[in-house]
Amino acid sequence: MVVLRYGLYYFLLVFCVGFALGLVRVPFLEPALGIRWAELIETPFMWLACYWAAGVVIRSGRLPGRSVALQAGVFALVLMLAAEFSVVLGLRDMTLAEWFASRDVVAGPVYGVSLVWFALAPWWRVHRRLRGQGNG
């Protein structure tokens, strides 16, 4: 149950930040710079959002172990992909194959790395915190 709670909370925090950034990226950055540059500019902010949200979730309750943090991150990734594939594809009226084909050759792989970071950020935050406690 702890994994589901942490994972859902983490997903919601990052999703909300991504939604807010999308409100800037899509209408303002994409027309001015193109999709590739708009997504690449947004990426570091999303990486920071993952790092921040993982810290918020960890501080919200008892410090979980690395395993719980990793499981929560993977659960949050499943939720993120479900949201991406259902909501975004539904709004764009695309199939999954069309979505993959439409990904930019540069921004697409960067997005893939971002998803890995999204899944691992809670584990990383717990790992760093536990390692710091052992050295003190």
Domain parsing of the chain, residue ranges: 2-131
Q: Which 3-state string (H, E, C) describes 3-65?
A: HHHHHHHHHHHHHHHHHHHHHHHHHHHHHHHCHHHHHHHHHHHHHHHHHHHHHHHHHCCCCCC
| 4-8, 10-14, 69-73, 95-99: range with lowest mean pLDDT | 95-99
For residue 133, the model assigns a pLDDT of 76
Percent of the chain with pLDDT over 90: 74
Q: List, for residues 17-42, the tens digit of each pLDDT value.
A: 999 999 999 999 999 999 999 999 99
pLDDT at residue 134 greater than cutoff 80: no
pTM of the entire structure? 0.90
